[in-house]
Chain A
Amino acid sequence: MKNFNIYLIGVGGQGIGLLSEILLRAVDKAGYPVKGVDTHGLAQRGGIVASQIRMGEKVHSPLIPEGEADLLVALERHEALRGMNMALKDGGTLVYYNAVWQPLDVRLGLSDEIREEVIQQECRKRKITEIKVFHHNLSDARMQNIALLRAIHQNRLIPELTAAHYKTSMEDLMEGEMLKKNLDFFQSKIDSAA
């Protein structure tokens, strides 16, 4: 198979670590060689966190070269744009959760909030497939990562993976009520259109 690079980006506290670990293990369970790395700065929370997953026989470094991500998974709208500019290749796929955690400059009135249309236009210009995810009645904001996992699965964004790979991977990492809640949501048929 050709190399396949997945770049995940979000804000500290959004649960990117778990999402990335589920994907990493799912790829492994499907029998593909895989490497990953989490990159985060000095903050517990509030800064940018990114995670990189690379699958394929010819992958050596866990770090994706600039502009060579096939799939970008963003947990927040501003980070979706940042990830597109930094990591995603033209013609790639963006799946993002349409949440907004305003960056400092937006809150201080020094920058404008990035609107959905900006993402849309940029995707059109660069022939990027855009998948926007949003759930109005999510019981727990911390399940936004699983909402993205669900969208990745339902849209077959990692073609080699099946539901079973994702599920066993989730079972590796969670248990009890948390596992049940997340599995139920992952398998649910509800509409996720924004």
Chain B
Amino acid sequence: MKKMGDMLLQESPFSEIVMGNTALVRAMVEAGTRVVTSYPGSPTPEIAAAIRSIPSSRRPFYFEFSTNEKVATEVAFGAAMNGHLSTVFFKSVGLNVASDSLVQLNLMPITGGMVIVLGDDPGANSSQNEQDNRHFAHMSYTPVFEPASPDEVYSFYLEAARVSREKQMPIIVRLTTHVCHAKEQVWFSEWKPIVYDATPRFNAAEGPFIPITSMVFPKKRRALENLSAIEKYSDSSFLNRRVDHQNNRYGIITAGLPFLSLLDVLEKASKQPDILKLAVVHPLSRKLVKEFLETHKQVLILEELDNILEKEIKQIAFEEKIKARIFGKMDAEDWIGEYTPDKVFHIMKKIWPKLLPKRPEKKHPMQEAPPRPAQMCPGCGHRAAFHAIRKAISEQDIKVADIGCHTLGYLPPYRMGDILLCMGASTGIGSGMSLFNDTRKVIAFLGDSTFFHAGLPGIINAMFNKHNLTLIIMENGTTAMTGHQSHAASGENFNEPVDAIPIQKVLEGLGIQQIHETDTYQMARLTELVKQAMDEPGLSVVIAKHPCMLKQMRGKRGQTGFQIMPVKIQQDDCTRSYECVEKFGCPSFIKNRNGSVTINPDLCIGDGSCIRVCPSTAIHIQKRDQK
């Protein structure tokens, strides 16, 4: 078996098929990165999985999952100010959390260099929006390198690290979901391990590092000068590419994954336009853009998500009095979704209809497959919780959702979640909804990792300003949705076991009097506790606890002799109330065409959380010898 950890530390040059996220970790190793931080979020968790594959004793850098993206950014910044090359990575919306610190970074001379790796999510594959984080780069005067493939993830990170260290400024490497997850053969260079000098090099005398009032301006000037320096670098950087076909009529400017979609589409084109493929998307090289615009009659800007390049390129054309006709976004569709080969085909067809062949009309299928929304796993404690909580509330009560596996409770049959903004927002939203409201009770859900991430300020506010709502903390002991990363209440961090910070004690410490806690499999008790909490004035909290069963089962499956015993439905006792399949809704139940309900043995984990749900007690745990 090829061990990823060995591969990532191989000293001689080699090639391997890797994901973009894995290629990034090899680049960190080769670049001499010393400190890496993160908060889990798709599409980036596989970066941490690759880091974990390197045994901590051999890992050439420090890694931690911090409590949120802002803290992760601060830890990486602090380390870099001591002279260590650092990197922070997180998902698109993580930058909203980190932004308060991010916008300050380029005001500081970052001694060790710092690379910020973003996992943007065009297509909103696993995010609550598809925000374009290049906006933040503009706001914070931070350069952006944008790779299109795993091979470029590797080389762009190495170059970003080099430039960042040389110029002592932060650089963003912006990945998107299918750049993170794409796999291809990548050729890696040699790695020479060196002994690092750990001397903390922070020197306050080189400051001031306190950007207050008039001290802001020289720092802002430095940031702007840095940006100009990067533009000059970009003019001749090997990262930017031109694909020339001596076509003086049609030209296309693009970047990132849309470049690869474009190449696919152009395989069938009648003529090949020239392409300027930008790697440094901020700041834009005026020289490269000007040369390209001047040598083409029509230029299409093929840009995923927002029209940032388009505006800048049109500005350059205006200022340079260039006559080329420039096509940017035509309609709302061009702003929405990932620029897949199909999407790029349609965009090109709108602008240059004769360049591409007609596509056959898509035939309507005879029958559609029923949709398959994501589900809570068999045995999930959240399912038991939702089933119990529903019995405690009335139809018109307002249920505020938050981010986590429990978000899936908004789906039928539970319908537990009416509104959602972002991580940790539920208590605040619920507080607002409780104002002038004596008729509809408000409950807010919150996950345990999110409790520490961004949940606390809303809870403190609800206490401080005496809001009237019930908060239900869905505690499963892990950051489940992103792949089971530990958090402050898990009892371990990325590197070692640590004392868990008990959520209940934190709440007690805030002075909250009304705190209830139960395992969610105790459904009758949970129903009673929620009823009680909702009758209590002010902020009341119910901790609905059950360990993530997917995580537990993964652990158990590895043990020798472990065998799952699915539950069994006694068909003679079953009265076909469908409480199990339609109300409790565990995916392990099969509704057969003859009306009977059976168990899918591939799915059931034998947890038995469904047993008490059946009004005719037809569901039974199977003993091993009954099989």
Contact (Cβ within 8 A) B261 A106:
no
Interface-centre pick from A13, A43, A110 (highest chain B CB count, 10 A)? A43
Using a CB-CB cutoff of 8 Å, which residues 58-72 of chain A contact chain B?
58-67
Contacts of A38 in B (CB 8 A): 181, 183
- Please encode chain B, from 400 to 425, with 1 for each CB lying within 8 Å of some chain A CB and 0 for all others: 00000100100111000000000000
Partner of A102, one of B178, B412, B591: B591
Contact A78 B184 (CB under 8 A): no
Convert B588-615 into 0s and 1s, putting 1 for each residue whose CB lies closer than 8 angstroms to a CB of A.
0111010000001111000000000000
**In the complex, are the beta carbons of A45 and B340 less than 8 A apart?**
no
B212 touches A (CB below 8 Å): no
Task: Considering the complex, give the chain B residue whose CB is closest to the CB of A114.
Answer: B369
- Among listed A153-161, A167-175, A185-193, interface-contacting one: A167-175
CB distance from B486 to the nearest CB of A (A): 16
Contacts of B405 in A (CB 8 A): 43-44
Whether A179 lies near B42 (C-beta < 8 A) is no
Give chain B nearest CB distance to A71 CB in angstroms: 18
Interface assignment of A141: CB less than 8 Å from any CB of chain B: yes
In the complex, what's the smallest C-beta–C-beta distance from B436 to chain A, in angstroms? 35
Fill in one digit per residue for A28-66: 1 if any B CB lies within 8 Å of its CB, else 0.
100001111111111111111000000000111111111
Q: How far is the CA of A158 from the CA of B209 in the complex (A)?
A: 61
A100 within 8 A of B: yes
A106 to B366, CA, bound (A): 18
Asked whether A85 is an interface residue with its Cβ less than 8 Å from the other chain, the reply is yes
> Do B260 and A45 touch (CB < 8 A)?
no
Q: Is the CB of B374 within 8 A of A62?
A: no
Q: Which listed segment binds A: B104-112, B155-163, B579-587?
A: B579-587
Residues of B253-269 whose CB lies within 8 A of A:
257, 260-261, 263-264, 267
Taken together as a complex, chains A and B put the C-alpha atoms of A12 and B257 apart, in Å, by 25
Contact flag A107-B365 (CB < 8 Å), given A28-B17, A113-B593: no
Q: A82: which of B342, B369, B480, B600 is its contact (CB, 8 Å)?
A: B369
Q: What residues on A are CB-neighbors of B13 within 8 Å? A: none
Bound form: Cα–Cα A124–B550 in Å: 40
Is B82 in contact with chain A by the CB < 8 A criterion?
A: no
Tell whether B623 is near chain A: CB-to-CB under 8 Å.
Answer: no
- Cβ A62 vs Cβ B178 within 8 A: yes
**Once the chains bind, are B372 and A48 in contact (CB under 8 Å)?**
yes
- How many A-B pairs fall under 8 Å by CB? 178
Contact A101 B370 (CB under 8 A): no
Which of A44, A48, A58, A171 has the largest count of B CB atoms less than 10 A from its CB?
A44
B residues within 8 A CB of A37?
Answer: 178, 181-183
Chain A residue at smallest Cβ distance from B580: A107
Q: Does B375 contact A (CB under 8 A)?
A: yes
Q: Let me know if A108 is at the binding interface, CB within 8 A.
A: yes
Chain B residues, Cβ within 8 Å of A121: 366
Is B1 at the interface (CB under 8 A from chain A)? yes
Residues of B within 8 A of A99 (CB): 602
User: When the two chains form their complex, are residues B582 and A108 in contact, meaning their CB atoms are under 8 A apart?
Assistant: yes
Quick one: which of B183, B267, B372, B593 contacts A11, CB cutoff 8 A?
B372
A105 interface hit (Cβ, 8 Å): yes
Complex-state Cα separation, A85 to B480, whole angstroms: 32
Is B185 within 8 A of A174, CB to CB?
A: no
**A47–B411 Cα gap in the complex (Å)?**
13
Interface 1/0 per residue, B180-202 and A, CB below 8 Å: 01111100000000000000000
On chain B, the residues within 8 Å of A28 by CB distance are 17, 185
Residue of B at shortest CB range from A122?
B366
With A44-B405, A106-B370, A179-B1: A39-B181 Cβ-Cβ less than 8 Å: yes
Do A103 and B178 touch across chains, with their CB atoms under 8 A apart? no
Q: How far is the CB of A15 from chain B (nearest CB, A)?
A: 11
Given the complex, which residues of A lie within 8 Å of B370, measured CB to CB? 78, 103-106, 110-111, 114
Q: Are B373 and A47 in contact (CB under 8 A)?
A: yes
B362 at the interface (CB under 8 A from A): yes
Q: Known contacts A79-B369, A107-B585; can you find 13 more A-B pairs with CB under 8 A?
A: A36-B182, A38-B183, A39-B181, A40-B126, A42-B42, A47-B374, A63-B178, A78-B369, A103-B371, A104-B412, A104-B587, A108-B412, A141-B602
The 6 closest A-B pairs by CB, nearest first: A43-B374, A46-B375, A47-B374, A60-B263, A175-B1, A82-B369
Q: Can you identify 14 A-B contacts, CB atoms within 8 angstroms?
A: A36-B17, A39-B125, A42-B126, A46-B372, A62-B178, A100-B600, A102-B587, A103-B370, A104-B375, A104-B587, A108-B585, A114-B370, A122-B367, A173-B2
